[in-house]
Amino acid sequence: MIFPRKNSFVENKERPESYYSLVEDTEGFAVFDIGSNTIKFLAARQKRDNTIEFLLHQSFTTKLAEGLFFTGELSPEAIYRTLDILSLLRRQADELGLRSRIAAATSAVRDSKNRKYFLKKAEEILGHKILLLSGDDEAKIIYRGVCSDPLLQGQASPLTVVDVGGGSSEWIQGKEKTPEYFLSLPLGAIRVRDRFVSGYPVGTKTVARMLHCLEKQLQDPLREIKGGCQKVIGTGGTISTMANIFQQSSKEDFLKTHHFPMDTDSIQKKLEELAHYDLEQLSKIPGLPLNRVEIIIPGMAVVFATLSVLGSNTLVSSIRGLRYGLLDLLVTEKLQVG
């Protein structure tokens, strides 16, 4: 371990519970998604018929954006947690023999004053460059990841996507694999919490004020994709957690959240319910992991405000977000080179 102190985020997680081994003579890919709240890792292999098989999905909460709203910098503690997880994931990629790798950092890193320091340290650990994505690039790659889903390909109607992250949220609309409108705003769950939430229970008045401000802020930016948008595809940790909560899952079930539909009435009722809970009560809700207890309400508020402004009554959860778009970029590049 590169750090002298123990990291509770890594403790007892020196190896994943299980993963598929890389078959000889197949191409292996590793994707590192350095988000504002979580670090996500995706391992895959390209089979001989050029199809992609996923080997390992992992997500670790490191709260990289913690305190960023107030200081403008990534804190030493948040940097430490994140670098330690990247060290763990680098070892796993080495063990799996994944030769083709890509890493990207998003809102927290691009908006921080000390991003150069963090990127230097992170690149030393991973052993390669990290893409620092602009908001527009992040939106485009998220859309690319969602469109990689076989069940969403070949649709004639426009595809509308929202991704609620920790530091920023992205909205994209397009046809097939081409984004025609994309937007990124600093309205991630952590930033919205820091802006509106002063304690728990949050209270219905605070939630109402939060929703009013978010809807007002989104009216003009989302004007171009309003009208006839009855179904929205949602990605990111907030939305997958929502899907787990509505299914009352006893634990985070990665695949169970995929393609799960949620309607606006249910989301509104759940928001009103959660507004009355203190942190202890929130921590006991099935499907809500402890690392998202403080940010689920603001994250859900961004989702509901989005649906309200778009005039949509349904949100469908998708696991295929940014890391799948990065994987698609990596695989496409290898095919072009090959």
pLDDT digits (tens, 9 = 90+) for 107-137: 999 999 999 999 999 999 999 999 999 999 9
pLDDT of residue 152: 82
Averaged pLDDT score across all residues of the chain: 88
pLDDT tens-digit readout, 156-167: 778 899 999 999
Would the CA dihedral through 255, 261, 264, 269 be positive or negative?
A: negative
Tell me which CATH homologous superfamily contains domain 1-132: ATPase, nucleotide binding domain (3.30.420.40)
Q: How does pLDDT run across 89-109, given as a tens digit for each residue?
A: 999 999 999 999 999 999 999
The sheet with strand 159-164 has its strands ordered as 178-185, 169-175, 159-164, 231-235, 314-317, 261-263
Give the pLDDT band (50/70/90) at residue 155.
Answer: confident
Q: Alpha helices of 112-263 — where are they, by DSSP H?
A: 115-126, 135-147, 189-196, 204-219, 237-246
Q: Over the stretch 242-261, which tens digit does the pLDDT of each residue have?
A: 999 999 886 666 678 899 99
Task: Tell me the pLDDT tens digit for each residue of 194-216.
Answer: 999 999 999 999 999 999 999 99
Confidence at residue 18, expressed as pLDDT on a 0 to 100 scale: 43
pTM of structure:
0.86
Residue spans per domain, the chain: 1-132, 150-317
CA angle 296-182-310, nearest 5°? 60
The CA–CA distances, whole Å, from 292 to 237, 283, 296 equal: 9, 9, 6
Residue identified by tokens 């403790």 is 11
CATH architecture classification, 150-317: 2-Layer Sandwich (3.30)
Domain 1-132 and domain 150-317, same fold? Reply is yes
> In whole angstroms, how far apart are CA 203 and each of 206, 261, 268, 272, 278?
6, 26, 14, 8, 9
Give the number of other CB atoms < 10 A from CB of residue 112.
25
